[in-house]
């Protein structure tokens, strides 16, 4: 088995096959899930009813027409339920099993990484979770998964207080899916999808998890896959993680703002490139044991 673009010769030249698994950071974007049939916002299939999704995923759009926004998100949820993890998701889950320290930071709000086997404690969904529903006013959060294939949470949570709600997840979510649009059982305000919309801040708790990982030390191996890297924090995290002597592998068919910093650029889809990269790394590591 051989990797394109001479990735493995560089790793072997440095004699870092073992070290490569000390600390690993993986950053993924919409291109990874697109190969499971999930449209990207910027792709040709991203438009919904001739509407620009970038204009639907905003607080302003929700305030103007919450019913329309909820219709879109319910269709997105259903599309994700029908989708299956692809080889890229599975390769990343395999890498997580073999790395000594590992963190996956994904911009994707779907559950495909989790369904592929990536551990929740080693994954950060920096743009939120589409199957979580939260109040647009108070801190009520329903984590019943919205019909996702992932197991539901055991309770409803008030994150700022740490208190647990008394609503059973299955019945609560079923009622919310039927109500149009759903309302908060605590304060009667409109409920909204638990995702980060354009113009909103990233969730502090998730940001802290990323920062804590980066502060623990540089990474030996960084993979950035399926993202256009248009958000500055993606480039910042990748560069901070690789530090002075780490490997930064970009997996994307197109050039991105990150490309100039990558030590290796794989101009293939993530579903094609990642399984080969991970398999070679695992084989190389095993041969050193």
Residues labelled catalytic:
127
The two beta strands, 128-135 and 123-125, are unpaired
3-state secondary structure of 276: helix
Please state, as a whole number, how many other Cβ atoms lie within 10 Å of the Cβ of residue 5: 14
In whole angstroms, give the CA distance from residue 101 to residue 122: 9
R_g of the chain computed on alpha carbons: 20
Our measurement of the distance from residue 131's CA atom to the centroid of its chain's CA atoms, rounded to an integer in Å, reads 13
* Spatial distance between the Cα atoms of 59 and 133, rounded to a whole number of angstroms: 15
CA–CA separation, 81 and 73 (whole Å): 12
Distance CA(81)–CA(131), nearest Å, equals: 10
In terms of Cα–Cα distance, which of 148, 33, 145 is closest to 92? 33
């Amino acid at each position: 088995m051989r990797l394109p673009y001479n990735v493995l010769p560089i790793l072997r030249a440095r004699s870092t096959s073992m070290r490569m698994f000390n600390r690993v950071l993986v950053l993924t974007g919409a291109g990874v899930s697109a190969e499971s049939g999930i449209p990207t916002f910027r792709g040709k299939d991203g438009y919904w009813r001739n509407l620009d999704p970038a204009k639907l995923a905003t607080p302003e759009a929700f305030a103007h027409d919450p019913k329309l926004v909820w219709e879109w998100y319910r269709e997105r949820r259903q599309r994700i339920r029908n989708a299956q993890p692809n080889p890229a998701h599975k390769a990343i889950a395999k890498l997580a099993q073999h790395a000594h320290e590992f963190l996956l930071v994904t911009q994707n709000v779907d559950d495909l990484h989790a369904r592929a086997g990536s551990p929740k404690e080693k994954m950060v969904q920096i743009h939120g979770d589409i199957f979580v529903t939260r109040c647009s006013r108070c801190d009520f959060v329903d984590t019943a998964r919205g019909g996702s294939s992932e197991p539901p949470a055991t309770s409803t949570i008030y994150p700022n207080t740490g208190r647990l709600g008394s609503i059973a997840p299955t019945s609560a979510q079923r009622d919310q899916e039927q109500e149009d649009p759903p309302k908060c059982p605590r304060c009667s305000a409109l409920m909204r999808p638990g995702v980060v919309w354009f113009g909103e801040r990233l969730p502090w708790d998730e940001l802290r998890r990323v920062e804590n990982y980066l502060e623990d030390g540089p990474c030996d191996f960084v993979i950035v896959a399926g993202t256009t890297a248009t958000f500055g924090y993606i480039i910042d995290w990748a560069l901070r993680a690789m530090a002075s002597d780490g490997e930064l592998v970009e997996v994307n068919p197109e050039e991105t703002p990150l490309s100039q910093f990558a030590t290796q650029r794989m101009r293939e889809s993530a579903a094609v490139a990642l399984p080969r990269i991970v398999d070679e790394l695992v084989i190389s590591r095993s041969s050193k044991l």
